[in-house]
């Protein structure tokens, strides 16, 4: 467990009754606490037109996080490259690296807008994702100085790139010789097959000499397994809402969700969402996460937890730091 790196992903989810600006400020405050606990990275994500998600501009949010922290690496999990021109992405990360040298990561995904109106507003269609590999080549070329125009201040800087495994992402990461971020799936066999394919196809390059696997996992730790399970209920229900109504809604209190009379279809989606989550007390989660590391051969775990209250998430993160043996686990967070 102490041989792997431990990192945090915060998607800036909005709680019911909360304004998006409040959620963004909570993300920055949480990053400061994570920094004090000794985690390796703190990443933010990109979503557009989603009522339950405030994080629409990850490089802007990353700048705020980097300004508020001292040690933790800051990055994106990720910037959805099909939504942007590679030149602009290179310039944005170049600015981040110039301002916060040695602390910036560039996580890249191939997803496009979830619904048609969002895709049209962004000026892309579903087939934009098909050019993901070409876009990565173009983006990295800007840092290497081989682009058709000079991408300043990115040119000559080194910002570590990572590829999020969505669809063919594992093969794209392998072909470009880049680290892979793989989401933990309830169907672990499918997840392991993608990781094996990545390792088999990996071509060493300028950014990585060997395969590097980060497993992103939704995990909660509490005094008891039952308390930890409750922490994950709000996000599971928001996922159900998105599957049945087309909108990822703000997080509701877990008691409200559990008291809901779900339809058979909703219950099926709810149980499906819960199947991909890990939860337990510290001893149980030590075993569960150690098993995940052993099965995947992960070099790093990227942990996410979104719940209705901030106290439960911070307590879970402190417990996670303790079981991981991080240097700040027993020190006051947010110093």
Helix axes 310-324, 20-37, angle to 10 degrees: 20
The pTM assigned to this predicted structure is 0.95
* pLDDT confidence bin for 334, thresholds 50/70/90: very low
Residue with tokens 């989606």: 269
pLDDT tens readout for residues 183-219: 998 888 999 999 999 999 999 999 999 999 999 999 9
Q: How far apart are CA 166 and CA 126, in angstroms?
A: 14
- CA–CA–CA angle 192, 198, 202 (5° rounding): 155
Nearest by Cα to 292 from 213, 196, 220, 215: 215
pLDDT tens readout for residues 225-246: 999 999 999 999 999 999 999 8
pLDDT tens readout for residues 58-80: 999 999 999 999 999 999 999 99
Q: How far apart are CA 292 and CA 88, in angstroms?
A: 37
**For residue 270, is the peptide bond before it cis, meaning its omega torsion is within 30 degrees of 0?**
no
């Amino acid at each position: 467990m102490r041989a792997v790196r431990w990192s945090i992903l915060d998607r800036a989810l909005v709680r019911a009754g909360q304004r998006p600006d409040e959620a963004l400020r909570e993300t920055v405050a949480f990053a400061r606490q994570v920094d004090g606990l000794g985690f390796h990275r703190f990443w933010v994500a990109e979503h557009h037109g989603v009522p339950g998600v405030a994080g629409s501009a990850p490089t802007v949010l990353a700048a705020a996080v980097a300004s508020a922290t001292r040690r933790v690496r800051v990055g994106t999990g990720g910037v959805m490259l099909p939504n942007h021109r590679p030149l602009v992405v290179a310039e944005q990360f170049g600015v981040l690296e110039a301002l916060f040298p040695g602390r910036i990561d560039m996580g890249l995904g191939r997803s496009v807008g979830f619904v048609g109106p969002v895709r049209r507003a962004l000026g892309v269609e579903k087939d934009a994702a098909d050019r993901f590999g070409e876009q990565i080549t173009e983006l990295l070329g800007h840092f290497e100085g081989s682009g058709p125009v000079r991408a300043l201040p990115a040119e000559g800087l080194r910002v570590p790139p990572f590829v999020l495994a969505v669809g063919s992402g594992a093969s794209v990461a392998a072909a470009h010789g880049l680290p892979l971020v793989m989401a933990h799936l309830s169907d672990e066999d499918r997840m392991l097959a993608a990781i094996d394919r990545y390792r088999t196809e990996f071509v060493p390059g300028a950014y990585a000499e060997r395969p590097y696997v980060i497993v992103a996992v939704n995990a909660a730790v509490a005094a008891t397994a039952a308390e930890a399970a409750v922490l994950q209920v709000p996000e599971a229900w928001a996922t159900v809402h998105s599957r049945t109504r087309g909108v990822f809604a703000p997080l509701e209190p877990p008691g409200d969700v559990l008291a809901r009379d779900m339809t058979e279809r909703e219950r099926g989606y709810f149980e499906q969402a819960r199947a991909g989550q890990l939860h337990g007390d510290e001893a149980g989660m030590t075993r569960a996460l150690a098993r995940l590391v052993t099965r995947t051969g992960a070099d790093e775990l990227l942990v996410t937890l979104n719940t209705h209250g901030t106290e439960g998430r911070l307590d879970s993160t402190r417990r996670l730091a303790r079981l991981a043996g991080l240097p700040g686990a027993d020190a006051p967070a947010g110093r």
